[in-house]
């Protein structure tokens, strides 16, 4: 019994010493900083993992922090692939303070946006406008201006006399509205008519619009490769109104040994596309100000939350990046990396 009591006393003393050491150690550890936010916004974008949308999200997130707002990339960490429509429904039902949305523009999406608006949730739509909905703001391109820029590039590639024998294929998202794609075509035709001083349709190239109905990058790549398999109907010029389609078209031209035979005018300006423009596999590309797009959508939501209204349309800047400019941008990046 004496030995047993001695063991119990030693164990109690040892436990007390260990407890005091742990307590002192915990006191020395800094408490984890708890950050509180005034608002919670959801970022819902189709193909949100692409370079384009990652840049948009980064700019939006930076702006949100300035407003003490938490911006959540809603589909990033859910462990399951949800459609943008499903993610939009989650955002609405979660009663977010605001939603940034890019995706389909069908009737169900319009209903969900209306439901959000009726509940006082601000919704800003990016790139593909949901025109029939009660969204508060559309942040995106002026498609007529985009068409005019494409027309200038077409004019550089094709002589006026060869226009009637030229086929131009415009690759657009399956979700892009008819109005937006028609504006691009109209702008191209208006510009070329004005430059040629003729009003006759046969002085214009044949302009086609191909909708790429793709759920992911792999199906998009397959859809674009199918165009190249139709050897008798290959266009002379391919306009890509999407960064993913630009990359897929560029890769297909290389794989099928059609560099120089099919001229590509791309969209967006990441390193891969810039390198292709520098090597003239892609003739030129339209650079979209992703920083402006990201910050504008958060500013619009902030205005709506604080004042009850915001601008219904905020345009995003675009510019043409040709071989000379692509080379300058790449050299600047290389020099910066070497200095760093």
- The answer to whether residues 136 and 155 belong to one domain is no
CA distance 209 to 14: 80
**pLDDT digits over 193-218, tens only?**
887 765 555 578 999 999 987 667 78
Model confidence at 49: pLDDT above 90: no
pLDDT recorded at residue 33: 53
Q: Which residues contact 165 (CB under 8 A, 6 or more apart)?
A: none
pLDDT recorded at residue 21: 52
**pLDDT digits over 229-241, tens only?**
876 788 999 999 9
In the structure encoding, which two tokens stand for residue 103, read together? 């995706």
- The answer to whether residues 77 and 147 belong to one domain is no
pLDDT recorded at residue 176: 85
Going by C-alpha positions, the residue among 124, 114, 108, 135 that lies closest to residue 44 is: 124
Residue 10 located in a structural domain: no
For residue 227, the enclosing domain spans 143-267
In the structure encoding, which two tokens stand for residue 111, read together? 């209903």
Model confidence at 168: pLDDT above 50: yes
* CB-CB contact of 172 with 223 (8 Å): no
Model confidence at 104: pLDDT above 90: no
- The answer to whether residues 89 and 119 belong to one domain is yes
- The answer to whether residues 44 and 83 belong to one domain is yes
Residue 220 located in a structural domain: yes
pLDDT recorded at residue 47: 80
Q: Structurally, how many domains does the chain consist of? A: 2
The percent of residues in the chain predicted with pLDDT above 90, rounded, is 63
Residue 332 located in a structural domain: no
Residue 84 located in a structural domain: yes
pLDDT recorded at residue 120: 95
- The answer to whether residues 70 and 147 belong to one domain is no
Identify which has the larger pLDDT, 106 or 125: 125
Residue 8 located in a structural domain: no
Instruction: Read off the pLDDT band of 137 (50, 70, 90).
Output: very high
The stretch 6-17 carries a mean pLDDT of 59
Give the domain CATH number at 166. 3.40.50.2300
Instruction: Read off the pLDDT band of 17 (50, 70, 90).
Output: low
- The answer to whether residues 263 and 166 belong to one domain is yes
Instruction: Read off the pLDDT band of 173 (50, 70, 90).
Output: confident
Model confidence at 112: pLDDT above 80: yes
pLDDT recorded at residue 29: 46
Residue 337 located in a structural domain: no
The percent of residues in the chain predicted with pLDDT above 70, rounded, is 86
Model confidence at 178: pLDDT above 90: no
Angle, helices 323-339/271-278, rounded to nearest 10 degrees:
130
CA distance 195 to 204: 11
What Cα–Cα distance (Å) separates residue 287 from each residue in 164, 277, 329?
Answer: 28, 12, 12
CA distance 147 to 181: 9
Which pTM was predicted? 0.83
Residue 54 located in a structural domain: yes
Model confidence at 248: pLDDT above 60: yes
- The answer to whether residues 209 and 181 belong to one domain is yes
pLDDT recorded at residue 338: 77
What Cα–Cα distance (Å) separates residue 128 from each residue in 86, 110, 172, 309, 317?
Answer: 17, 12, 11, 21, 16
Mean pLDDT across the chain, nearest whole number? 87
- The answer to whether residues 126 and 173 belong to one domain is no
- The answer to whether residues 135 and 147 belong to one domain is no
pLDDT recorded at residue 219: 83
- The answer to whether residues 48 and 116 belong to one domain is yes
Residue 282 located in a structural domain: no
The stretch 169-186 carries a mean pLDDT of 91
Helix, strand, coil shares of the chain as percentages rounded to 5? 55, 20, 30
The stretch 71-77 carries a mean pLDDT of 87
Model confidence at 114: pLDDT above 90: yes
- The answer to whether residues 153 and 185 belong to one domain is yes
CA 295 to chain centroid:
13
- The answer to whether residues 132 and 147 belong to one domain is no
């Amino acid at each position: 019994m004496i030995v047993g009591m001695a063991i119990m006393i030693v164990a109690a003393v040892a436990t007390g010493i260990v407890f005091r050491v742990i307590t002192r150690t915990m006191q020395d550890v800094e408490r984890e900083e708890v950050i509180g936010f005034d608002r919670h916004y959801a970022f819902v974008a189709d193909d949100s993992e692409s370079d384009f949308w990652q840049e948009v999200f980064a700019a939006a997130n930076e702006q949100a922090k300035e407003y003490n707002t938490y911006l959540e990339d809603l589909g990033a960490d859910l462990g399951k692939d949800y459609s943008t429509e499903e993610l939009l429904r989650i955002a609405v039902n979660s009663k977010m303070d605001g939603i940034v949305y890019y995706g389909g523009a069908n009737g169900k999406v319009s209903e969900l946006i209306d439901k959000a608006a009726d509940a006082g949730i601000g919704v800003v739509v990016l790139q593909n406008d949901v025109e029939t909905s009660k969204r508060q703001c559309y942040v995106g391109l002026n498609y007529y201006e985009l068409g005019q820029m494409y027309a200038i590039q077409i004019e550089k590639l094709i002589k006026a006399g060869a226009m009637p024998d030229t086929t131009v294929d415009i690759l657009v998202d399956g979700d892009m509205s008819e109005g937006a794609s028609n504006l691009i075509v109209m702008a191209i035709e208006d510009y070329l008519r004005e430059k040629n001083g003729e009003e006759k349709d046969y002085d214009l190239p044949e302009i086609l619009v191909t909708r790429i109905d793709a759920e992911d990058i792999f199906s998009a790549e397959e859809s674009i490769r199918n165009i190249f398999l139709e050897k008798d109907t290959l266009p002379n010029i391919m306009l890509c109104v999407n960064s993913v389609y630009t990359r897929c078209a560029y890769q297909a031209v290389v794989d099928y040994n059609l560099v120089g035979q099919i001229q590509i005018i791309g969209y967006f300006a990441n390193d891969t596309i810039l390198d292709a423009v520098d090597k003239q596999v892609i003739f030129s590309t339209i650079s979209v100000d992703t920083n402006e797009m990201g910050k504008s959508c958060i500013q619009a939501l902030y205005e709506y939350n604080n004042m009850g209204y915001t601008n219904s349309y905020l345009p995003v800047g675009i510019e043409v990046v040709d071989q000379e400019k692509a080379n300058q941008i790449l050299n600047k990046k290389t020099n910066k990396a070497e200095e760093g």
